[in-house]
């Protein structure tokens, strides 16, 4: 897997086993989203919130100015770290994928195009279910705006068969994803293992495309901690409202990821 560099920093590194922590901003008003961003820009979140996701679908559902909110959040993040700011992922999640934006595929594509034109984020989420033509157009728009594209698939009702999950990750990679994201719902204990196995198989099949995978819900929580060992490059942790079931607190997640890395790499830990 090649390095993914965003804002001059290596966001995901080849061979890195520890996923980066992504903190979602999930608010119903632009003012609340801005206040959350201002908090995440403070030094106390350094080393914890390594990437910020702004969920725009709650704002669209509430009739808020999503473009204005995106610009304001970007300015707030830019005010941190001597102007470097944290990388920003912009996401419009439709209802068909578990979000709040009641949009047809055409309306969804237009909304994402508008956001990219108004204020290009560092990364943009593009729902793979929008269809080949819309996905291709949005990929071109994202890359034209200088943004990395996260192609995504979400299954909030169950965990698909392993072969289907591998196929989805590979299809997103083949379509031109900079990062392929897959989220499924764990309804039985074995589902977490199936998601991890699918991640590893996709990593072997498409090693040049980073993957971001997780099993949602309590039974899938383990995938958010150990997913990096199977080829997932990031994990979502909250600093407020969850954007999906099963997300742990960001600080607890970072601590768990570091402790797992230590026990797997420190010879003293292994010999105890």
Pick the catalytic residue: 71, 114, 155, 181? Answer: 181
CA distances from 136 to 39, 112, 143, 177, 179 (A): 35, 13, 11, 10, 15
Distance CA 257, CA 243 (A): 20
CA distances from 130 to 42, 106, 209 (A): 36, 8, 20
Residue 143 catalytic? no
Q: How many Cα atoms sit within 13 Å of 124 on the Cβ side?
A: 29
- Using an 8 Å Cβ cutoff, are 197 and 189 in contact? no
DSSP run (H or E) holding 194 = helix 189-205
114-120: long-range contacts, CB 8 A cutoff, minimum separation 24? 114/67, 115/56, 115/66, 115/67, 115/70, 115/90, 116/141, 116/142, 116/145, 116/147, 117/141, 117/145, 118/67, 118/70, 118/71, 119/67, 119/70, 119/71, 119/74, 120/145, 120/146, 120/147
Residue 181 catalytic? yes
Length of the chain: 272
Distance CA 56, CA 90 (A): 7
Pick the catalytic residue: 114, 143, 154, 155? Answer: 154
Active site residues: 154, 181
């Amino acid at each position: 897997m090649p390095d993914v560099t965003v804002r001059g920093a290596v966001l995901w590194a080849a061979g890195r086993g520890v996923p980066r922590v992504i903190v979602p901003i999930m608010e119903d008003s632009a003012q609340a989203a801005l206040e959350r961003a201002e908090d995440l820009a403070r030094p106390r979140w350094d080393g914890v919130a390594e990437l910020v996701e702004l969920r725009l679908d709650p704002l669209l559902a509430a009739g808020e100015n999503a473009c204005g909110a995106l610009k304001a959040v970007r300015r707030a993040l830019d005010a941190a770290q001597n102007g470097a700011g944290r990388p920003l992922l912009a996401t419009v999640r439709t209802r068909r994928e578990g979000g709040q934006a009641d949009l047809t595929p055409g309306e969804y594509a237009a909304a994402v195009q508008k956001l990219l034109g108004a204020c290009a984020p560092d990364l943009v989420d593009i729902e793979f279910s929008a269809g080949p033509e819309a996905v291709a157009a949005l990929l071109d728009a994202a890359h034209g705006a200088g943004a990395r594209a996260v192609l995504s698939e979400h299954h909030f009702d169950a965990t698909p068969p392993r072969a289907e999950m591998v196929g989805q990750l590979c299809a997103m990679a083949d379509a031109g994803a900079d990062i392929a994201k897959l989220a499924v719902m764990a309804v039985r204990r074995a589902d977490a293992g199936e998601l991890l196995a699918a991640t590893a198989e996709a990593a072997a099949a498409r090693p040049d495309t980073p993957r971001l995978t997780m099993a949602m819900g309590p039974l899938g929580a383990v995938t958010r901690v150990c997913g990096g060992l199977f080829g997932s490059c990031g994990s979502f942790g909250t600093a407020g409202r969850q954007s999906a079931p099963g997300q742990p607190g960001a600080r607890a997640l970072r601590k768990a990821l570091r402790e797992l890395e230590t026990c797997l790499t420190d010879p003293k830990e292994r010999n105890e």
